[in-house]
Amino acid sequence: MKVQIITVGKPHLSFAKDGIEEYTKRLGRFVDVSVHHVKENKDTEHKVINLIGNDVCILLDETGGSYDTKGLAQFLDMQKNHGTNLSFVVGGPDGHTEVLKERGDVMWSLSGLTFPHDIATMLTLEALYRGFSILENHPYHRG
């Protein structure tokens, strides 16, 4: 299974950059993971859609549904069992375009709160690491 995180814009907060690197490294123990930062311009939508390809597309959006930790692990397990690859898309300051919303398979809200894309990316990677650690019986999640 491959998992990619696609963000519109590069992270600017140093602690978020460190967290993104750390959780990307940790998640790499369980799945093939990559992070792509797409520059925001007139070609952003096209670039994001090309990166998604045939993957199951999960759009991070405050209006999406939510998962608890075990529910996320179950979702990941189901996708893994189906042999699908996943693309998680973190939008820019204006959210996702209508074309991306139409392409999305799942809308996922990390919280009722709104986060800068750097922090949303870091939180997404941590949540995925926690979910996969549950599936692999790794002691990271103790709940």
pLDDT at 61: 92
Q: Is the pLDDT of residue 76 over 90?
A: yes
b/e map 18-38, b = 16+ CB within 10 Å: ebbeebbebbeebbebebebb
Helical (H) or strand (E) element with 111: none
Report the length, in residues, of the chain. 143
CA distance 84 to 2: 8
pTM of the model: 0.95
* Contact status, residue 19 vs residue 115, Cβ threshold 8 Å: no
What domains lie within the chain, and their CATH numbers?
Answer: 1-67+87-97+118-134 (3.40.1280.10)
Q: Is 69 exposed, middle or buried (0-12, 13-18, 19+ CB in 10 A)?
A: middle
Q: How far is CA 31 from the centre of its chain?
A: 13
| Mean pLDDT value of segment 78-91 | 96
pLDDT digits (tens, 9 = 90+) for 112-137: 888 898 999 999 999 999 999 999 99
pLDDT at 92: 86
Q: Is the pLDDT of residue 143 over 70?
A: no
Strands 106-108 and 86-90: unpaired
pLDDT digits (tens, 9 = 90+) for 2-56: 999 999 988 999 999 999 999 999 999 999 999 999 999 999 999 999 999 999 9
Q: How many CB atoms lie within 10 A of CB 82?
A: 9
pLDDT digits (tens, 9 = 90+) for 88-111: 999 988 889 999 999 999 999 999
CA distance 62 to 105: 15
pLDDT at 3: 98
